[in-house]
Chains A and B, each alone.
Chain A
Amino acid sequence: MPDLFSIKFAEWKERGQVVRTWSVRAARLMVGVPDYDTYVQHRQVNHPGQPIMTYEEFFVERQEARYAVSKGRFRGCC
């Protein structure tokens, strides 16, 4: 039978994981890489059977896109 301590510990661990997941997502988007799981889910639901980039391909694609300059598309300064 789990004691109170281990229940609390499990709760906190779960909370910690949620914070970690969202912090990682926020940090990645700050440097222009959106959430990969969301991308995979989107492809599976909306484009079933079509190819899905691996995380590595996804990363390279997003990295190029972030710094690609085109009409009216460029990145910041101040």
Chain B
Amino acid sequence: MSALAWNGNGITMKLLWGAIAVLGAVSLAIIALSRGEPVNAAWMVIAAVCVYFIAYRYYALFIANKVLGVNAGRATPAVRHNDGLDYVPTNKYVLYGHHFAAIAGAGPLVGPVLAAQMGYLPGTLWILAGVVIAGAVQDMTVLFLSTRRDGRSLGDMVRSEMGPIAGTIVGIGILLICVIILAVLALVVVQALRGSPWGTFTVFCTVPIALIMGVYGRYVRRGRIAEMSLIGVVLLLAALVYGQTVAQTPSLAAYFNLSGPALALVIIGYGFVASVLPVWLLLAPRDYLSTFMKIGVVTLLALAIIIVRPDLQMPALTKFVDGTGPVWAGSLFPFLFITIACGSVSGWHALIASGTTPKMIENENQIPFIGYGAMLMESFVAIMAMIAASVLHPGIYFAMNTSAGLIGTTAAQAAQVVSNMGFVVTPDQLTQVAHNVGEISILSRTGGAPTLAVGMAQILSSLFGGQALTAIWYHFAILFEALFILTTVDAGTRVLRFMIQDLVGNAIPVFKETKSWTNNIIGSAAACVLWGYILYQGVIDPYGGIWTLWPLFGTSNQMLAAIALVFCTVALFKMKRERFAWVTIVPATWLVCCTVTAGLEKAFSPDPAVGFVAHARTLSRAIAAGKVLAPAHSLGEMSRLVFNDYLDATLAALFVAVVIAMVVYAFIDIRKALGTPKATAVEVEFAGAAIGGRNA
């Protein structure tokens, strides 16, 4: 991408950029306007890539040079504090890889799959528009601000620019988002492994494999990352292949054929044990495996899509744009924009962009390439997930993503219900897909991961192995997703534990000591109870959990993005760059609108399908009358649902309160900044010359 920075005004360059613009416009028109005929995925890839190039060349560099005012002559933290460890001036391509690996995770793979219920078009447009205007701008601006502040964290920066109360609000926001993210991601794994001995066996195997790697890398050949990763990958593939035998041997399969609630308890227990073990034993080796597999699979999938160029079976728009869809509840606005969080804009990236990356940037003029560029790549991952979901027959897509409460548990029932939705599918087709991927059933495998896995298996098997390898590819995709979600569960539980210790430590100082085993065990247990409760509630939810919880997760993630963008806006005003502040005001306003509307609707919408309180009231009335409402099975189940509804409503309302409080603080700070004649942003002083980075 570095050639893009070349400000060529020659006629050739103009023609080249004109051609890219025309190609992008034509591709977008094809995917947007074609009706009836299936569209080839290649158009989606071309449209996306053209949008990314133009956005980078014309918008990212404009923001960097004109809005933020990156200064190639200003020494970065890596140069000033160079210690060869945390602060190291790093080659920009190497750092790009580091930053991308840190921001990419399960989010961009799952969100677009769920959004496909409205057709591929709304989601695709939001992925492209969102990343250009909001997501990449947020990542780059936070990275810039943190680089100017010695690589300090988002919470720290908010505290110093907007005061301690705003800082605490951000802290609470981060705590909430952690709880919800862990619960929902774990739920995705539970839904993928429920009643699947093959998948469960291979995912369970990752634990002993990680332990072997951990011991190898610590005691046998210390620090040999390549060797231990290779051992891990080989063992993992062996487990993957042997999983088929396990699934086909009834005596073995019985051990790994677990129900949803049982899996949930196993994962909660795993999260607890993993988070108290030393990092080198389990977390680090798992992290190595999942990081390298993530990069490998993303590359493989990109190549496969480009070579295979599958047709999209999903229509551009489905009738569910009206908000009656079975995958998740709610209308296009605001719920589409929170369903696809990562891939368009993810608040979590604000934490990464103010983490290790700003401490390793060689030169400020590399900020657009790393901050904006890596987010464009993440957006491309989301586009690939959208393609993988859309290459499936829509009937299969809806059979997989609708809860058992709505479509029943047999292929005949499901086929009938889905056909009635308008996506004609036969029971045979449903059982055939399950058979092809080596599963007993694919019905109601909500959560996005299994759908993505079927789509990926379809694309990859037409490249390598054909029908014979479809089942292997499917379980490979499941393994890959579960692997890094469980890494997140481990790492996230540690984060949550720390935040709980920090919070409770204010009252009981001795609890702050993070080296104490007792504290860690109590802290981890508390953390697991928090996310575990929500996970369990999601698993036993007759609506299937994802239907209820994914919008809540999306809201929390976009809430953090809104906070980050509001903070960026305040920082721009304090830097006296208010003339350009629209760059962050526009996405911040949009996200505040989306999260506040979504939060309020989830809490208080009179429609019981959307609003938690309305739903709780409907259930309470039925309980009073002694009636059991489907899909619940008993009055006991219904009163549990009522309690959970109120809990979820409280969370949604809390998100809204956090966002609004942040906006109020921002207005106060902006007024103050406007009333001061000189810049008041708290940057570290200008010092010394930078190195490297001839071009951005």
Question: Could you say which residues of chain B place their CB within 8 Å of the CB of A42?
Answer: 82-84, 88
Bound-state Cα–Cα, A65 to B83, Å: 14
Pairwise interchain contact B85-A78, C-beta atoms closer than 8 A: no
Pairwise interchain contact A78-B279, C-beta atoms closer than 8 A: no
Bound-state Cα–Cα, A25 to B222, Å: 17
Can you offer 9 A-B residue contacts whose CB atoms are under 8 A? A27-B225, A29-B97, A30-B101, A31-B101, A60-B223, A63-B280, A67-B491, A76-B488, A77-B181
> Chain A residue with minimal CB distance to B157?
A72
Pairwise interchain contact B94-A29, C-beta atoms closer than 8 A: yes
B61-90 CB mask vs A (1 if < 8 Å, else 0) is 000000000000000000000111110101
Bound-state Cα–Cα, A62 to B222, Å: 13
Pairwise interchain contact B88-A38, C-beta atoms closer than 8 A: yes
Q: Is the interface of B mostly helix, strand, loop or mixed?
A: helix
Does A69 sit at the interface, judged by CB under 8 A?
Answer: yes
Question: Could you say which residues of chain A place their CB within 8 Å of the CB of B342?
Answer: 78
Q: Report A1-45 residues with CB < 8 Å from chain B CB.
A: 22, 24-35, 38-43
Pairwise interchain contact B492-A77, C-beta atoms closer than 8 A: yes
Q: Which of A31, A67, A70 has the most CB of B within 10 A?
A: A31
Bound-state Cα–Cα, A40 to B218, Å: 21
Bound-state Cα–Cα, A74 to B514, Å: 14
> Chain B residue with minimal CB distance to A34?
B88
Does B333 sit at the interface, judged by CB under 8 A?
Answer: no
Pairwise interchain contact A22-B488, C-beta atoms closer than 8 A: no
> Chain B residue with minimal CB distance to A43?
B84
> Chain A residue with minimal CB distance to B159?
A72
> Chain B residue with minimal CB distance to A62?
B85
Shortest beta-carbon contacts, A-B, top 4: A72-B153, A78-B107, A59-B223, A39-B84
Pairwise interchain contact A25-B85, C-beta atoms closer than 8 A: no
Pairwise interchain contact B502-A76, C-beta atoms closer than 8 A: no
Partner of A76, one of B84, B86, B102, B154: B102
Does B380 sit at the interface, judged by CB under 8 A?
Answer: no
Question: Could you say which residues of chain B place their CB within 8 Å of the CB of A58?
Answer: 223
Extra A-B contacts (10), CB below 8 Å, given A29-B95, A31-B291, A66-B279: A26-B94, A29-B98, A30-B101, A38-B84, A39-B88, A42-B88, A71-B153, A73-B153, A74-B351, A78-B104
What is B's interface to A at a CB cutoff of 8 Å? 82-86, 88, 90-91, 93-95, 97-98, 101-108, 152-156, 181, 185, 218, 222-223, 225-226, 279-280, 283-284, 287-288, 291-292, 295, 341-342, 346, 348, 351-352, 354-356, 360, 488, 491-492, 494-495, 497-498, 502, 514, 557
Bound-state Cα–Cα, A71 to B174, Å: 12
Bound-state Cα–Cα, A35 to B155, Å: 29
Bound-state Cα–Cα, A38 to B370, Å: 21
Pairwise interchain contact B84-A22, C-beta atoms closer than 8 A: no
Question: Could you say which residues of chain B place their CB within 8 Å of the CB of A46?
Answer: 82
Pairwise interchain contact B105-A77, C-beta atoms closer than 8 A: yes
Question: Could you say which residues of chain A place their CB within 8 Å of the CB of B101?
Answer: 30-31
CB distance from B362 to the nearest CB of A (A): 12
CB distance from A52 to the nearest CB of B (A): 9
Pairwise interchain contact B155-A59, C-beta atoms closer than 8 A: no
* Given A65-B85, A72-B154, A76-B103: A22 and B93 interface contact (C-beta under 8 Å): yes
Partner of B280, one of A56, A60, A74, A77: A60
Bound-state Cα–Cα, A30 to B298, Å: 15
Pairwise interchain contact A56-B84, C-beta atoms closer than 8 A: no
Pairwise interchain contact A26-B225, C-beta atoms closer than 8 A: no
Question: Could you say which residues of chain B place their CB within 8 Å of the CB of A73?
Answer: 153, 355
Question: Could you say which residues of chain A place their CB within 8 Å of the CB of B153?
Answer: 71-73
Question: Could you say which residues of chain B place their CB within 8 Å of the CB of A66?
Answer: 279, 284
Bound-state Cα–Cα, A34 to B270, Å: 30
Bound-state Cα–Cα, A77 to B355, Å: 13
CB distance from B546 to the nearest CB of A (A): 16
Pairwise interchain contact A39-B85, C-beta atoms closer than 8 A: yes
CB distance from A15 to the nearest CB of B (A): 16
CB distance from A70 to the nearest CB of B (A): 7
* Given A69-B494, A77-B185: A22 and B91 interface contact (C-beta under 8 Å): yes
> Chain B residue with minimal CB distance to A58?
B223
Q: Which of A24, A39, A58, A69 has the most CB of B within 10 A?
A: A69
> Chain B residue with minimal CB distance to A74?
B495
CB distance from A67 to the nearest CB of B (A): 4
Question: Could you say which residues of chain B place their CB within 8 Å of the CB of A26?
Answer: 93-94, 97-98
Question: Could you say which residues of chain A place their CB within 8 Å of the CB of B105?
Answer: 76-78
CB distance from B270 to the nearest CB of A (A): 17
